[in-house]
Structure 1
Amino acid sequence: MDKGTPKAIRLQDYRPPAHLIDTVDLQFELGEEVTTVRSTLGIRRNPDRPDAAGLPLTLDGQRLDLVSVALDGTPVAPDRYTVTADHLTVDQVPECFSLETVVRIKPQENTALEGLYKSSGNFCTQCEAEGFRKITYFIDRPDVMARYATTITAEKARYPVLLSNGNLVASGEHEDGRHWARWEDPFPKPCYLFALVAGNLRHAEDHFRTFSGREVTLRIYVEPGNEDKVDHAMRSLKKSMRWDEEVYGLEYDLDIFNIVAVGDFNMGAMENKSLNVFNTKYILAKPETATDNDFLGIESVVAHEYFHNWTGNRVTCRDWFQLSLKEGLTVFRDQEFSSDMNSRAVKRIADVQGLRTVQFQEDAGAMAHPVRPDSYVEINNFYTPTVYNKGAEVIRMIHTLLGPEGFRKGMDLYFQRHDGQAVTCDDFVAAMADASGVDLSQFQLWYRQAGTPDLSVATAYDEAARTYRLTIRQTVPPTPGQPDKQPMHIPVVVGLLGPDGADLPLRLTGEAAPAGTSRLLHVRKAEEVFEFVDVPARPVPSILRGFSAPVKVKADVSDADLTFLMANDSDAFNRWEAGQILGGRILLGLVADQQAGRLLDLPQSYVDAVGAVLRDADADPAFAAQALVLPTEAYLGTQMDVVDPEAIHTVREFARKTLAARLRPDWLATYRRHAGNQSFSVEADAIGRRALKNLCLAYLMALEDEEALSLCLGQYHGATAMTDVIASLQFLSNSNAPQRDEVLAGFYERWKGEPLVVDKWFGVQAMSYRPDALERVTELLKHPAFEIRNPNKVYALIGGFANGNPVRFHDATGSGYRFLADQVLRLDPMNPQVAARMMGPFSRLRRYDAARQALMKAQLERIVATPGLSPDVFEVASKSLEAAG
């Protein structure tokens, strides 16, 4: 690295800032070559820092061309300030003062998409986490909260729309063809929530009346030609505003709420106060161009960013170590919203699948870290599944421990105490504990300890005493920097099913009467024993209902018991889970057979269990579409000490084809029952029926016979909704059908004018498990539609291959590893944040055999040795190498 090894920033070193900024007045002169930014800051010494009286003012700034500095209206002499690559330091500053700086920047050259940059000819900002320092000099940290006023001046013909945070208070025109707009935000905020957009945009407008009677104007801005794709996003926004009022009593606080969708964006969206900036992927949708998952994703992300208005904006993070304070809490809130809007069971299953597939692997890899990290080199690397998804599970556990009413009281107290403040995860937990009276002191280990806890459950039934005993042991595995762990406070919700499949009333030893049929058990020690009394017959346990804690469970439950739970458990999640555990056991047994060279055979009892679910699928198509999916290759890998990608893929494909062949009449009949319904809606029932239909077609296409191929081609050519089109395309892409290449080429020609649809086309080919997948992906890098500077294209093609195609990425030759390293090094000089996100598969190298580890290690060493490597990529690569040993 040019500047040596990057220095880690540690939570234990936190100190309040020496100076605070109360007001910010920004004036932007947007130009085609250069943009000028004039910043006037109202600054005072921090009373919480007694030592600040003798300290200079230090402002963050990167890639800024400083024109002038003035203090209280008087130019500052050059010998009184210093400028480095990262800071502006002004000596001998008074207790309270105004500082004015003028800088020049070049947004059109900003390929990192942080700070102020241009996207499709429009100006746009992304300031979280540390992008504001690339716009002007500032104390760029979240505990510095100020009130902003922003004036934007630009050429009217090129940039007719000028937007920033808050309310529009004035606007006008100049005689030279330029115009201006002034925005004022009355609420103090950290600079990471600042936003500016200027461009040639169109908008859809609607209105929302709050529960106090105020009318809020809602606008969604898009590039011309996309106006017909925002209706769903607007409906989602209005539903989320109403939900937040009804569930949490939280009302929107300004007169206008703006959303802007841009094509070049590193993340999904950004919750800037009153001016949310979105990746087009999470705004634009209509049935012809978007899948059901797109519609659901838009609803979820729009809600997530809106919910941040209170959990993130009104109350924000003291420092970036507290990132989950806003992200974990807001993910939990958007998950609950989506559950209320759609199928709660299916949403919970989807969230847990994502957690296990991505976050559990992160916990087991070189980048394992607590929900509240202890240190970081580059904060962008900690926008992770652990902070977001595991963080949401931590909030969910608090909700479970306190109950809905206790949790709401905690939320009310949290806002009452901290509105307008930058606070910590400890402050949130304290509000929850104080409002409910529940002791959460041990529970806070979830914020401090990394790793996925393992639960071992042993059962014993005493027929004579009519007692049933659960013995639960917990261990938290060592992770980098944390070799020894303390026992966690784990909420385990259980039920017991009688021989008739009904839930039994549950009474623990010492209780006077049963207390329901689902019980919350508090596991606080390394081993806990729970004894239920008055149990009339040996029950079947339903453990961890609703996935009440983000843990791995091994229980002495038989295959017959799992089949029984698949058919009878009243908890929908555990009914699905029983099928996954049973399927996982069988498939992992087949992996062992494959590795030993034994003949593969799928037990008929498992086929019968799947067939029973299939024949009852119409009772709940959405749930059946989840229950009938075999455990994924990624999930199976997490269950192995040493991952064998080839054996896992071979076995899973064998099981899929066997189920397809033995249950072919049922798959075919179910498909045909649902294939005739061409009406489209995004209601949960309609989505569930399409999911079930396409799952049946996936199984049929595993056989690749003439009838299945005819059905698939018929659906592809006849479908009017992208959900069905892309499903057919995916099945064809994995096949050896002679029409495959023709269909793929035709799809591109049909949709080449729709960038988001082209991204799907890239992704389908990247995740094809045909042997020529890498060759195809390499060719597509040269395709006219692929642009390495566009994050969506990178995530679809490069990320699709590295993260979504384990069998081909982990090819024993190491070709997939070389490919990924090449692309990371190509991306890093342009966009370090995206380059680092592509590194995820390398961080898990110790899960694989020695040969693959050596191949990955060689690529990591090549990356680390590259001159000028960004801190983003260096941190992931160096930690991965350190973990490899």
Structure 2
Amino acid sequence: MSQPQAKFLKDYQQPKFKISHIDLAFSLAGKETKIIATSQVVRQEQHDEALVLVGDEIELLSVTVDGKAAAFQQKSGELVIDTSLNEFELQITTKLDPEANTSLEGLYMSDGAYCTQCEAEGFRRITYFLDRPDVLAIYSVRIEADKQAFPYLLSNGNLVEAGDTQDGRHFAKWHDPFPKPAYLFALVAGDFDLLEDRFTTCSNRDVKLQVFVDKGNLNKAHHAMASLKKSMAWDETRFNLEYDLDIYMIVAVDFFNMGAMENKGLNVFNTKFVLADKACATDDDYHGIESVVGHEYFHNWTGNRVTCRDWFQLSLKEGLTVFRDQEFSSDLGSRAVNRIHAIKVMKNQQFAEDSGPMAHAIRPESVIEMNNFYTVTVYNKGAEVIRMMHTLLGESAFQRGMALYFERHDGQAVTCDDFVAAMQDASQVDLTQFKRWYSQAGTPQVEVEESYDAVNKSYNLTLSQSTPDTPGQTDKLPLHIPFDVELISVDGESVMSEVLSFTEKQQTFSFTGMPSKPAPSLLQNFSAPVKLAFDYSIEQLVHIMRFATSEVAKWEASVSLFSQSVWQNVERLQSKQAMFIDPRILDAFKGVVLAQELDKALMAEILTLASAGSLIEQKETVDLDNLALAREFVVLQIASDCEDELLAKVRELNSVDDASARALKNICLSLLLKIEQSYGEVAKSQFDLADNMTDSLGALSALNCGTSAIRNDLMGQFELQWIDTPLVMDKWFALHATLNSHDCIEKLTSLFEHAAFSFNNPNRVRSLIGAFAAGNTFEFHRRDGQGYQFLTDAIIKLNKLNPQVAARIITPLIQFKKFDSQRQLLMRNELQRILATEELSKDLYEKVTKALA
């Protein structure tokens, strides 16, 4: 195959033509679906170049310019129209087969409904177009389809006309008054249950709210609707941003590559982030729905009204909107727990991406396949960069910067530099050095050394920063790092709390008036996305766990205590010594179980001991076999030392109907099952009496550490009860995928034949194959390589069906450099097998070649 070519940010050029208006007429008729696209085209500046449009996997029927047949050429996915006109009307008629579109990009069928997904480059699968984010047009859309099969015909904007046509068909016309790029176009046609409500904006405008779900699921749409109304109210209160159309629609579909899509006024969602009731959704599901509904709604301004000039600027909308949805969740719930969840994503996933072959800046310099850059770096590290700006400027100045950004750029496609400029101008804070965060890849490391002068009662912290080389980037420059520090006295008092402005390669900060050496709580609340290198003593960590004013700092200290103990035991195993855990560490965790003043959700986070994947990210190279033994030993010792207290906590919380209580109870139960399988009877009792999915799944998850008869029986009961509920069956598949047993891979292979499994459904693939590769660390990395072979076989199958999903679940296979030479060889062999696949997609080609390089 010819090698796909990279595109570079430095090569960006303004479009040679613009499209001011486009009228789209869809005749939905299965394999014979036709689209007529009528565009008003305007040449930009003086040039005599041809109009070049892009298209992908569509049949071209006709092309006219100002009503006359046009001369054109088709080559390599391009439609070239040579015309000397400066302004003209272009009409293109195409035909396509949505039923055969398993990539789920462009126009496709999702369980009987027509649906679109156009971000990043899916609109070219509908018609030939200037499919780039800096071409903004006014869209008018006419949809025609069979009335009985597709009673709802939806698109962006406001409904302007609807009626019946001939032969049992009907039509609907939509008009969106706001210019938008093609990636925000949306169409849905199907038969749904509809939940309706209203929202009155701050300027007293009445907005109709609609949530469309599959038939029979109406009772599960209420939480999504409530989340939408909360989002709209919060954005008005916190950011002074008001919704701008007369209607806001959410449609839940089963087949969707991502979580959701912010199409202007018509958000298309994966059902996972819409449907919920107490019986079938966990507390985490409820939180996820609220967060994602908020995220897509907040895009209405940060992404839609102001959009990206080019796809290299993706973090302009995504990083900013993730920050906004994190703040939304924190304002509505526990700020500490929401912050912990964000930190876990950064440390467990983003740091891994930074140290792997796909390392890139939040504004990448080059891409082969844009879908590969919808990453935790662009989204979550991008959000951390926005958070650092907020920390440096403060809430008031940050809000002035947001207001200036919208004032300058409403209705435009702009860059990350434009956003930073608005923040800088509104605050009068120089952000020149800070902008390096946008262009430098990799995770900076901050080494800290402390010293105490008892005579002068002064305490010094010397900070040194460095960022490792990443593919294509060396010689990294110092970054502007907001470094949050609290100093805690020996009697537990906070004697200093400050955000240090760390800008040099090395800086020393001095603190006077310290009668004794304090314990430093460093990088509090993860004030910057960096790795901290500081030789904490056990005494310091225990002290921080007890006395830090930041709840996040207490959690961070607990993670460090657990991690230290695991790695010390890895070293003991390597030197043939018996494993051991310091009693002070056991006392610290028992203190958490016994604590009355701690928030239960925070206690649950502390007792959710660092996963194998999280531990792996703490080291450059990993002895995986000894890590498995050491982690199991430390978990067992902590659980055994707290056994009576854990059991008492489970009994105490059994009847408490509260999300934080359920979280704590279920983690305590899982620790008890680590000690003794006889606690399976406690889990069975919880399962039998559960009136909610959180407790049902909590019992099964606790039992998932072994293959007892109780587990197998309850898994069978769960399957029979929920076989007709796809989102719950996803949870059942994921439990099988994460079972650490010698026959795990054999079992997963047999589940490919299960009636509820389909390679065409991204949710099923992620729940079974993706969960295994990403969440079952020791089985995936089996020494015999069967885990790698299992994933590779699935990826090769998905290559033709859905390249996006294939490229997303390949990540654990390309991050091999931390492991021993035998495992690296096995993983590279499987990557070579993927590379040899006929008609390998661009999505996989990019990731595999970068890994093998």
Q: TM-score, normalised by structure 1?
A: 0.95
Within the alignment, does 1:550 sit opposite 2:529 as a pair? yes
CA contact (8 A) 1:842 1:880 kept: no
CA contact (8 A) 1:545 1:574 kept: yes
Q: Secondary structure of the residue that 2:301 maps to in structure 1?
A: coil
CA drift of 1:19 comes to 0.2
Stretch deviating more after TM superposition (417-426 or 863-872)? 863-872
Within the alignment, does 1:466 sit opposite 2:457 as a pair? yes
Counterpart for residue 512 of structure 1: none
Counterpart for residue 430 of structure 1: 421
Amino acid of the structure 2 residue aligned with 1:65? E
Amino acid of the structure 2 residue aligned with 1:665? D
Match of residue 582, structure 2, among 568, 586, 603: 603
CA drift of 1:329 comes to 0.3
Counterpart for residue 682 of structure 1: none
CA drift of 1:306 comes to 0.2
Q: Tell me how far apart the structure 2 counterparts of residues 328 and 877 of structure 1 sit (CA, whole Å).
A: 26
CA drift of 1:478 comes to 0.7
Counterpart for residue 514 of structure 2: 535
1:314-333 equivalences in 2 (<5 Å): 314-333=305-324
Q: Secondary structure of the residue that 1:763 maps to in structure 2?
A: helix
1:182-221 equivalences in 2 (<5 Å): 182-221=173-212
CA contact (8 A) 1:704 1:735 kept: no
Stretch deviating more after TM superposition (645-654 or 868-877)? 645-654
Counterpart for residue 849 of structure 1: 820
CA drift of 1:474 comes to 0.4
CA drift of 1:367 comes to 0.5
CA contact (8 A) 2:814 2:827 kept: no
Q: Secondary structure of the residue that 2:127 maps to in structure 1?
A: coil
Match of residue 24, structure 1, among 2, 22, 25: 22
CA contact (8 A) 1:367 1:876 kept: yes
Residues 60-102 of structure 1, C-alpha deviation per residue, up to 9 Å, x if partnerless?
11112111111111121xxx21012411110024111110011
Match of residue 232, structure 1, among 223, 230, 247: 223
Within the alignment, does 1:71 sit opposite 2:65 as a pair? yes
Counterpart for residue 800 of structure 1: 771
Q: Tell me how far apart the structure 2 counterparts of residues 725 and 800 of structure 1 sit (CA, whole Å).
A: 19
Residues 399-433 of structure 1, C-alpha deviation per residue, up to 9 Å, x if partnerless?
00100011101100000000000000000011001
Q: Tell me how far apart the structure 1 counterparts of residues 144 and 359 of structure 2 sit (CA, whole Å).
A: 46
Residues 525-548 of structure 1, C-alpha deviation per residue, up to 9 Å, x if partnerless?
110011112222211111111110
Segments ≥4 residues shifted beyond 4 Å: none
Within the alignment, does 1:579 sit opposite 2:570 as a pair? no
Q: Secondary structure of the residue that 1:742 maps to in structure 2?
A: helix
Q: Tell me how far apart the structure 2 counterparts of residues 810 and 55 of structure 1 sit (CA, whole Å).
A: 54
CA contact (8 A) 1:545 1:573 kept: yes
CA contact (8 A) 1:645 1:806 kept: no
Amino acid of the structure 1 residue aligned with 2:655? G
Residues 589-627 of structure 1, C-alpha deviation per residue, up to 9 Å, x if partnerless?
111222333211222111101011110056410111111
CA contact (8 A) 1:155 1:179 kept: yes
Residues 351-376 of structure 1, C-alpha deviation per residue, up to 9 Å, x if partnerless?
10111111000000000000000000
Within the alignment, does 1:722 sit opposite 2:697 as a pair? no
Counterpart for residue 696 of structure 1: 668
Match of residue 261, structure 1, among 241, 246, 252: 252
Amino acid of the structure 2 residue aligned with 1:44? V
Q: Tell me how far apart the structure 2 counterparts of residues 257 and 437 of structure 1 sit (CA, whole Å).
A: 37
Match of residue 350, structure 1, among 331, 341, 344: 341
CA drift of 1:776 comes to 1.4
Match of residue 376, structure 2, among 370, 377, 385: 385
Counterpart for residue 61 of structure 1: 55
Within the alignment, does 1:661 sit opposite 2:659 as a pair? no
Q: Secondary structure of the residue that 2:753 maps to in structure 1?
A: coil
Match of residue 806, structure 2, among 829, 835, 839: 835
CA contact (8 A) 2:680 2:710 kept: no
Match of residue 739, structure 1, among 710, 717, 720: 710
Q: Tell me how far apart the structure 2 counterparts of residues 175 and 118 of structure 1 sit (CA, whole Å).
A: 24
Q: Secondary structure of the residue that 2:394 maps to in structure 1?
A: helix
Q: Tell me how far apart the structure 2 counterparts of residues 160 and 358 of structure 1 sit (CA, whole Å).
A: 43
Q: Tell me how far apart the structure 1 counterparts of residues 76 and 94 of structure 2 sit (CA, whole Å).
A: 14
Residues 794-847 of structure 1, C-alpha deviation per residue, up to 9 Å, x if partnerless?
000000000011100001111111111111100000111111111101221111
Counterpart for residue 132 of structure 2: 141
Q: Secondary structure of the residue that 1:739 maps to in structure 2?
A: helix
Q: Tell me how far apart the structure 1 counterparts of residues 746 and 573 of structure 2 sit (CA, whole Å).
A: 27
Counterpart for residue 614 of structure 2: 635
Q: Tell me how far apart the structure 2 counterparts of residues 93 and 796 of structure 1 sit (CA, whole Å).
A: 54
Q: Secondary structure of the residue that 1:602 maps to in structure 2?
A: coil
Stretch deviating more after TM superposition (612-621 or 694-703)? 612-621
CA drift of 1:746 comes to 1.5
Q: Tell me how far apart the structure 1 counterparts of residues 597 and 695 of structure 2 sit (CA, whole Å).
A: 19
Q: Tell me how far apart the structure 1 counterparts of residues 714 and 554 of structure 2 sit (CA, whole Å).
A: 38
CA contact (8 A) 1:57 1:93 kept: no
Residues 103-123 of structure 1, C-alpha deviation per residue, up to 9 Å, x if partnerless?
111101000000000011100
Counterpart for residue 118 of structure 2: 127
Counterpart for residue 514 of structure 1: none
Q: Tell me how far apart the structure 2 counterparts of residues 246 and 93 of structure 1 sit (CA, whole Å).
A: 51
Residues 746-777 of structure 1, C-alpha deviation per residue, up to 9 Å, x if partnerless?
21111001000000000011011122211211
CA contact (8 A) 2:677 2:708 kept: no
Q: Secondary structure of the residue that 1:720 maps to in structure 2?
A: coil
Q: Secondary structure of the residue that 1:55 maps to in structure 2?
A: coil
CA contact (8 A) 2:565 2:634 kept: no
CA drift of 1:731 comes to 2.0
Structure 1 residues not aligned, in runs of 5+: 505-516, 680-685
Q: Tell me how far apart the structure 2 counterparts of residues 132 and 452 of structure 1 sit (CA, whole Å).
A: 35
Q: Tell me how far apart the structure 1 counterparts of residues 273 and 413 of structure 2 sit (CA, whole Å).
A: 28
CA contact (8 A) 1:459 1:468 kept: yes
Match of residue 750, structure 2, among 776, 779, 785: 779
CA contact (8 A) 1:222 1:260 kept: yes
Residues 458-511 of structure 1, C-alpha deviation per residue, up to 9 Å, x if partnerless?
11111111111110000101111112211111110111111221111xxxxxxx
Stretch deviating more after TM superposition (125-134 or 732-741)? 732-741
CA drift of 1:381 comes to 0.3
Structure 2 residues not aligned, in runs of 5+: none
Stretch deviating more after TM superposition (569-578 or 265-274)? 569-578
Within the alignment, does 1:15 sit opposite 2:7 as a pair? no
CA contact (8 A) 1:116 1:126 kept: yes
Amino acid of the structure 2 residue aligned with 1:693? K
Within the alignment, does 1:38 sit opposite 2:36 as a pair? yes
Match of residue 562, structure 1, among 541, 544, 551: 541
Counterpart for residue 879 of structure 1: 850
1:71-470 equivalences in 2 (<5 Å): 71-76=65-70, 80-470=71-461
Q: Secondary structure of the residue that 1:845 maps to in structure 2?
A: coil
CA drift of 1:31 comes to 0.1
C-alpha RMSD of matched pairs (Å): 1.0
Between the two proteins, the alignment pairs up a number of residues equal to: 853
Counterpart for residue 783 of structure 2: 812
Q: Secondary structure of the residue that 2:25 maps to in structure 1?
A: strand
Amino acid of the structure 1 residue aligned with 2:218? E
Stretch deviating more after TM superposition (565-574 or 492-501)? 492-501
CA contact (8 A) 1:244 1:251 kept: yes
Stretch deviating more after TM superposition (81-90 or 640-649)? 640-649
Q: Tell me how far apart the structure 2 counterparts of residues 819 and 736 of structure 1 sit (CA, whole Å).
A: 21
Q: Tell me how far apart the structure 2 counterparts of residues 226 and 595 of structure 1 sit (CA, whole Å).
A: 55
Counterpart for residue 795 of structure 2: 824
CA drift of 1:705 comes to 4.1
CA contact (8 A) 1:453 1:476 kept: yes
Q: Tell me how far apart the structure 2 counterparts of residues 867 and 174 of structure 1 sit (CA, whole Å).
A: 46
Q: Tell me how far apart the structure 2 counterparts of residues 71 and 644 of structure 1 sit (CA, whole Å).
A: 66
CA contact (8 A) 2:73 2:79 kept: yes
